[in-house]
Amino acid sequence: MDLKYIVLMIAIGVTMVLALVRALLGPTVFDRILAVNMFSTKTVVLIAALGFMTDRPDFLDLALLYALVNFMGTVAVLKFVRYGSFDQATANWENEG
Amino acid sequence: MKHHIIVRVISKFLIPFMFLFALYVQFHGDFGPGGGFQAGVIFASAIALYTLVWGLDRAEQAFKPRLIEILIATGVMIYGGTGLLCLFAGGHLLEYRALVEPGHPQHGEHLGIGLVEFGVGITVTAVLTGIFFAFVRRGRT
Amino acid sequence: MTILTLDVTTLIVLCLVLPLISAVLIAALGRWPNLRDGMMVVMATILCGVVCKLVPLIDAGARPELNLVNILPGDHYMPLGFKVEPLGMLFALVASCLYILTAVYAVGYMRGHHEKNQTRFFVCFALAIFAAIGVAFARNVMTLFVFYEVLTLSTYPLVTHHGTDAARRSGRVYLGILLTTSVSMLLLAMIWTYFLAGTLEFTPGGILTGHVDGLMLMVLLGLYAFGTGKAALMPFHRWLPAAMVAPTPVSALLHAVAVVKAGVFTILKVGVYVFGIDLLAGTGASVWLMYVAGFTLICASLVALSKDNLKERLAYSTISQLAYIVLGMALANPDGVLGGALHIATHAVGKITLFFCAGAIYVQLHKTQVSELDGMGRRMPWTFAAFTIASISIIGLPPMGGAWSKWFLALGAADAHQYPLLAALMISSLLNIAYLLPIPMRAFFAKPKPDGRHDHDDHGHAHVHDGLSEGWAMTIPLCITALGCIAMFYFADPLYHMLQPIAAHTQTVVAPITAAAHP
Amino acid sequence: MNQLLYHLPVLQVVIPLLAAPACVVIRQRHLVWLWATVVTWACLAMSIGLLMRVYPTGGAITYEIGGWVAPWGIVYHVDALTALVLVIVTGVGAVVMLYARQSVNDEIPAERHHLFYAAFLLCMTGLLGITVTGDAFNVFVFLEISSLSSYVLIALGRGRRALTASFRYLVMGTIGGTFILIGIGLMYMQTGTLNMADLAARLPAVNDTRTIRAAFAFFTVGVSVKLALFPLHVWLPNAYTYAPSVITSFVAATATKVSVYVLVRFTFIIFGAEFAFTDMKLDVVLLALAIAAMFIGSLVAIYQTNVKRLLAYSSLAQIGYMVLGISLTNVNGLTGSIVHLFNHAMMKGGLFMVMGCVMLRIGSVHLRDMAGLGKRMPWTMAAFVVGGLNLIGVPLTSGFVSKWYLVLGALDRGWWPIAVLILLSSLLAVVYVWRVIEVVYFRDPPEDAPTERCEAPLMMLVMTWLLLGASIVFGVWAQIPAGVSKAAAQMLLGVTP
Amino acid sequence: MVLTAVAIILLRDLFAAVMLWGIFSLLSAGLFVVMDAVDVAFTEAAVGAGISTVLMLGTLTLVPTREKATDRHFQLMPLLICVLTGAALIYGTLDMPAYGEADAPINKHVANYYIRESPRESLIPNFVTTILASYRGYDTFGETTVVFTAGIGVMLLLGGKAKRRGGPSAAPPVKAGAGDDDDHGGAMATAAASASREDAS
């Protein structure tokens, strides 16, 4: 395996571990959210890189899917943290927006 | 709370793309990873995102509870209907090659798989949307 | 009348169906007590007539059969069906004849006592008779067991009739012992028999010969003997005194007509047709049972002696008399078996008279204790006369029916060279005298106790005795049964003749073993 | 017509399955009920048709779904045992459907009836699918359908406790399901196939591997959870007690039976009796647990004051009988086990239906509220007596037929103490049944209680009696159930009749 | 992965547990990718990372986010069962053929047939799809029905505006991640999802 791939893998790996540590330790909610978000971004990168390395274009579909779904997940988490409900604060939000 | 505008703009931009991607997964399942189930999940995610951003009431205008119920049933019925269709066409249940004229079993397979995946997609979309709506509605009280 | 020309299968069907119809009609006519009771007595009479129609046929050697349904498939041949043979015929005859009298008596008793739930009572009564006939005519152990359980269940509401706490408790004991023994032992014995012999049909000479011997045979016999809780062999006799809380006609039913008779009948029938008396005699498997029976009959007599409550005393007397019958079977020789079979009939007639009397005394005088009966003979002379006759019959003195059965039992014991048992029979008869005869003696010869409370009672109920029509409804049956006791002495021959085949047949089958058995 | 008959095995499952979404579409509650009833009765007719095709001729039907032959595709397999279980499930389903109307009107909010009936049909579909399939993984799929729907249906019972009961069932059931899945997965690992017949052919070669032993252990434990074998039964009593009456009747009469069927099928056909019983000593384990279940179940039942719970514990004991028959591993024992599936379905279904009638009329199934009910609901309570006699195993009831074969099986095996234990445990049944009967008939109701007649609605009553009457009919005339069971037992043990 | 799983169990803050759950799902997707099971990874991505997180959060909107402090006395039984299960699993894997080994039974029998024959029998290049929708199409039908059942179930339990159940009975002690009334839907959706996921493997 090419050296650059190894470096790439290690780099992504270290980043993921760091993100994981942050997610585990907290301490605030936002630390965790950010860590998870980062972790998932790195997963996207990792999958894309793996696809590139192994010459499997289907992995790109996977990466794309992650990217899309993660956005939805993050919005959901943020809304939960901010309002404690998926629906309750909508009215205010509508008015303010 | 002006900064919500970011979320809204991006969502507006992303949701059509998610739908498109879902359709891609639905119909490209023959060639790459994915299929009806995954497509349904992505559809439902898109709808969930819409609900998160614009609220349940607007989402329910598009997807009325009654409609969701019918869609849930429709998906299963499409799947089963395909199976029964094969049966009435002279084959066994879900024997897709019976759907087309003899001699082209592969076309039959293709057609049948496409149909059942479509059924799966509809059911999964509707069920997940329905569950999500039920949760959100319940949280309202 | 068409019944005269009916074929024999129809007769069997009628025997079984009539009590059922009777039960349904009783339930239907519940709102019109007079109609209901009249119908019941009429049905009972018809039933008795049908059963009597069967007697000459059986006597002539016919063994009519009736198969209803084969329960299990294929190689498990186990039909639910009936086959009439002398022993069953005897039991059916006893049950159906006494049913008429009991029915008349029960009407009198229930009305005289203003009991509630009379319709339920009579329905269960009819069902019990149905079950008794079923037991009598059963062609195999399976059918017998079925009706045995029907009998248990249909008499349970009778025992708990009053619905009081005491009645419920007794009902629990009654049901508990009868169901427990039958389900845990009789059923096991039955399936085991099937497992060994591959059939459950009652066959002259038995079905177990060659399939089992030694200790296992004894165990199997034990399962049957103790599993038949209705035979009230000690230590499973508790239900019988417990059931005394029930109204007296029920006691009559239990003790004379159906229940305990079904128990001893089962034991006799199993001994004769499943084991075969030759197998028992040949292996000596039933010797222990003789001693259990001997123990029971002495013990129960002693307990009876100590009881002051009239019905309880009679109950223990029954336990003792049942042991005679079991003993007869266990002796495993023709005389013993015949004696046992005859004793079913003679004891039935005698004991029903005693209970009728006890009931009549209770209804008219409100007395339950023996010690309260001093001088009451003058008040109810017919009743106490009947009591005396029946007592003598039970004791086994001529010229009463009981003499014959005890005579044959004694012969059987001598035949089997079981002299201790012969002694036990004699001692027990003496004890019978000691606990039965003092009752009429006191009633006739002792002076009434000067007790104010009693006087009051007497006064109140003398009126009942004289004025109401229910009085005769109780007195007449008990007089008839008392006469029956005497009649059985003089006309025992037909019965003996009819029963002969049970013993006769076995003698001819495997004679050598019998000879070898007695050293 | 012949064409349709040929497809009968799969139509048996697909028709109720597709009828469920149709319920959701129809929505109008009376129509939905009518539709579901028609479908269940049609299913009953189909399963009887199937039974007539495999018995008494003794053949087996195989149906390849999708036209893919085994082991490439999924096949359906119907033999005498399968057909009997199908008849049990559809029979109880059909009777319960007719019974359901008033009871459901009373217990379920009207706007959800269509979903309720859909879930009911799904539950039945799942059970039928488990029964009829010849593919190991397919078992799991349909197990999920039936389990999910039964969790929901149980949670619909009155009061909050139905929810916790259902949740407990969900947790236990999911664990059980996962274990089954692990078992199947491990088997697939070693054989590369999921088809039952193919598995049976390929397993002996790899029998001595630890993988297969672990698979066996996982699978057996998983199924034991589902069938509520003694120490794994904790979900059962509450689930049965708090579920809606209709559901209790249906689930109690069918779900555990199907699990027993799965256990029988896997141990005897797939793993093979020799591996399961000689190598793994499953018979000893099952025997011990079955005896424990028989006695502990009955003993606990004696002390219950809620009659539904009492019956639930009695189910536990009755399951013990079925498992006991399996552990005897001879024709008579196994026949007893299988015929008890059938008989217990009738009696327990009927008894829970009685409780449904009581629930409808007096709103409680607590013993203290039932005093003197014998006068107020004579027909209903007479049905209870009949069912109780069945539980005890009095002759001429179907319970007796089961016991007959079980005891014979125990004697065949030379285990006469087991025979004694079987009979002793039925004595415990006498006690708990009699406790109820005594209260119902011989205890006076409280002073302030109403005394007027309040017999259950005719349709409910008729259906209750239909099941319990059948249990008497098949007790007196056991040719068909016992014959089918015996054929099935001989098939399982490879004995030629 | 193990670390994450343990953390999920130990955490009292349900919200944090949900977040970690997302990470767990991502990790397992990564594992599937490494094992070259793209379809499974795809499903895991769609379900695990996306919708199930949202649904769990949906559950959390209905229940308190902190687990109730039930008395945490040491419970031997569950631990024992877990250890036994784990031991049995490990015991079972000891004899298992190595992953990807060419002559493992799993690769020689049915799977081999699928790989060989599926291109001939259908025009679909992704044979996973062929297996799921055609060879084992009936299983997929079943799975669709499972999803359908889950949908029906949630609507039955949560649907409708009328509050059926009154009575402030004390909420019973429940396990982590479970509320009292509404956990069924979530759990069921998860169960359905996981069931479907298993199907792909």
Domains contained in chain B, number: 1
Asked if the model's pLDDT at residue E157 lies above 90, the reply is no
Task: Tell which wins on pLDDT, D234 or C5.
Answer: D234
Residue D433: name the closest of E155, C409, C176, B102 by CA: C176
Query: Which other chains touch chain D, taking contact as 3+ CB pairs less than 8 Å apart?
Result: B, C, E
**Does residue D478 belong to any structural domain of this protein?**
yes
Asked if the model's pLDDT at residue D386 lies above 50, the reply is yes
Length of chain D measured in residues? 497
Domain residues for the domain of B39 are 4-140
- CA dihedral sign of residues C202, C205, C210, C214: positive
H helices present in C307-380, as ranges: 310-331, 334-365
Task: Tell which wins on pLDDT, D55 or D331.
Answer: D331
Q: Which residue has the tokens 């008499």?
A: C155
Task: Tell which wins on pLDDT, D126 or C406.
Answer: D126
Chain B partners within 8 Å of D8 (Cβ): none
Instruction: Report the C-alpha gap between C135 and C83 in whole angstroms.
Output: 11
Instruction: Report the C-alpha gap between C172 and D17 in whole angstroms.
Output: 50
Of B28, B54, B139, the CB nearest to A85: B139
Q: What percent of chain C has pLDDT over 90?
A: 0
Of A26, A29, A72, the CB nearest to E50: A72
Q: What is the mean pLDDT of residues C218-244?
A: 84
Q: Please report which confidence band the pLDDT of residue C505 belongs to, taking 50, 70 and 90 as the band edges.
A: low
Q: What percent of chain A has pLDDT over 90?
A: 2
Q: What percent of chain D has pLDDT over 70?
A: 99
Both tokens of residue D444? Answer: 């006076």
Task: Tell which wins on pLDDT, D131 or C61.
Answer: D131
Confidence at residue D123, expressed as pLDDT on a 0 to 100 scale: 94
Asked if E190 has any chain B CB less than 8 Å from its own CB, the reply is: no
Residue C136: name the closest of C98, C176, C181, C168 by CA: C98
Asked if the model's pLDDT at residue C3 lies above 60, the reply is no
B71-85, C457-471, C496-510: least confident range: C457-471
Confidence at residue D21, expressed as pLDDT on a 0 to 100 scale: 92
**Does residue D339 belong to any structural domain of this protein?**
yes
What are the DSSP calls for C240-273, one per residue? HHHGGGS-HHHHHIIIIISHHHHHHHHHHHIIII
In a mutational test of the D interface, the residue from B68, B93, B116, B120 whose CB has the highest number of chain D CBs within 10 Å is B93
Chain A partners within 8 Å of E59 (Cβ): none
Q: Which helix (H) or strand (E) holds D256?
A: helix D245-264
Confidence at residue D339, expressed as pLDDT on a 0 to 100 scale: 93
Asked if the model's pLDDT at residue C1 lies above 60, the reply is no
Asked if B21 has any chain A CB less than 8 Å from its own CB, the reply is: yes
Instruction: Report the C-alpha gap between E82 and C180 in whole angstroms.
Output: 44
Chain C (280-319) residues lying within 8 Å, Cβ to Cβ, of chain D: none
Contact E164 D159 (CB under 8 A): no
Query: Which other chains touch chain C, taking contact as 3+ CB pairs less than 8 Å apart?
Result: D
Q: What is the mean pLDDT of residues D369-396?
A: 88
Chain B partners within 8 Å of A57 (Cβ): 32
Asked if the model's pLDDT at residue D384 lies above 90, the reply is yes
Q: What is the mean pLDDT of residues D35-55?
A: 92
Provide the ipTM: 0.83
Q: How does pLDDT run across B19-70, given as a tens digit for each residue?
A: 999 998 888 777 777 788 889 999 999 998 888 888 888 888 888 888 998 9
Instruction: Report the C-alpha gap between D140 and E62 in whole angstroms.
Output: 32
Q: Name the maximum alpha-carbon separation found in chain E.
A: 64
Q: How does pLDDT run across D398-421, given as a tens digit for each residue?
A: 988 898 899 999 988 888 889 889
Domains contained in chain D, number: 1
In a mutational test of the E interface, the residue from A46, A69, A85, A88 whose CB has the highest number of chain E CBs within 10 Å is A69
Chain A residue at shortest CA distance from E64: A84
Q: What is the mean pLDDT of residues E113-131?
A: 75
Q: Please report which confidence band the pLDDT of residue E70 belongs to, taking 50, 70 and 90 as the band edges.
A: low
Q: What angle do CA A20, A22, A25 make, to 5 degrees?
A: 110
- CA dihedral sign of residues C57, C63, C69, C71: positive
Chain B residue at shortest CA distance from E182: B135
Mean residue pLDDT of chain C comes to 80
Task: Tell which wins on pLDDT, D309 or C370.
Answer: D309
For D406, the 3-state DSSP assignment is: helix
Instruction: Report the C-alpha gap between C449 and C455 in whole angstroms.
Output: 9
Q: What is the mean pLDDT of residues D163-189?
A: 90
- CA dihedral sign of residues C122, C123, C126, C128: negative
Is the CB of residue D350 less than 8 Å from the CB of residue D464?
Answer: yes
Q: What angle do CA E65, E67, E72 make, to 5 degrees?
A: 170
Of E110, E145, E148, the CB nearest to D72: E110
Domains contained in chain A, number: 1
**Does residue A89 belong to any structural domain of this protein?**
no
Upper half-sphere CA count for residue D185 (Cβ side, 13 Å): 15
Domain residues for the domain of D385 are 281-497
Q: How does pLDDT run across B110-119, given as a tens digit for each residue?
A: 888 888 889 9
Confidence at residue D82, expressed as pLDDT on a 0 to 100 scale: 92
Q: Which residue has the tokens 């992965």?
A: E1
List, in order, residues 6 or more apart from C204 with CB less than 8 Å away. C272, C273, C501, C502, C505, C506, C509
Domain residues for the domain of A77 are 16-84
**Does residue A63 belong to any structural domain of this protein?**
yes
Is the CB of residue E167 less than 8 Å from the CB of residue D159?
Answer: yes
Q: What percent of chain C has pLDDT over 70?
A: 91
Asked if the model's pLDDT at residue C452 lies above 50, the reply is no
Chain E (37-76) residues lying within 8 Å, Cβ to Cβ, of chain A: 38, 41-42, 45-46, 49-51, 53-54, 57-58, 60-61
User: Closest Cα of chain E to A3: distance in Å?
Assistant: 19
Q: Please report which confidence band the pLDDT of residue C4 belongs to, taking 50, 70 and 90 as the band edges.
A: low
Chain D (382-401) residues lying within 8 Å, Cβ to Cβ, of chain E: none
Chain E residue at shortest CA distance from D155: E157
Torsion of CA D446, D452, D457, D463, to 10 degrees: 60
Instruction: Report the C-alpha gap between C211 and E185 in whole angstroms.
Output: 64
Of A76, A88, A93, the CB nearest to B140: A88
Instruction: Report the C-alpha gap between C230 and C238 in whole angstroms.
Output: 10
Any contact of E with A, at least 3 CB pairs below 8 A?
yes
Chain D (64-83) residues lying within 8 Å, Cβ to Cβ, of chain E: 65-66, 68, 71-74
In a mutational test of the E interface, the residue from D23, D120, D130, D144 whose CB has the highest number of chain E CBs within 10 Å is D144
Q: Which residue has the tokens 């931009």?
A: B13
Task: Identify which of C3-7, C282-286, D354-358 has the greatest average pLDDT.
Answer: D354-358
Contact B72 E196 (CB under 8 A): no
Q: Where are the domains of chain C?
A: 2-517
Q: Please report which confidence band the pLDDT of residue C281 belongs to, taking 50, 70 and 90 as the band edges.
A: confident
Chain D partners within 8 Å of E97 (Cβ): 189-190
H helices present in D108-160, as ranges: 113-132, 136-155
Asked if E129 has any chain A CB less than 8 Å from its own CB, the reply is: no
In a mutational test of the C interface, the residue from D398, D442, D443 whose CB has the highest number of chain C CBs within 10 Å is D442
Of E109, E143, E146, the CB nearest to D193: E109
Mean residue pLDDT of chain D comes to 89
In a mutational test of the D interface, the residue from B92, B116, B122, B131 whose CB has the highest number of chain D CBs within 10 Å is B92
Asked if the model's pLDDT at residue D334 lies above 60, the reply is yes
What are the DSSP calls for A36-76, one per residue? HHHHHHHHHHHHHHHHHHHT-THHHHHHHHHHHHHHHHHHH
Q: How far is CA D200 from CA D188, D206, D274, D390, E148, in A?
A: 12, 11, 12, 37, 33
β-bridge pairing D61-64 and C79-83:
unpaired
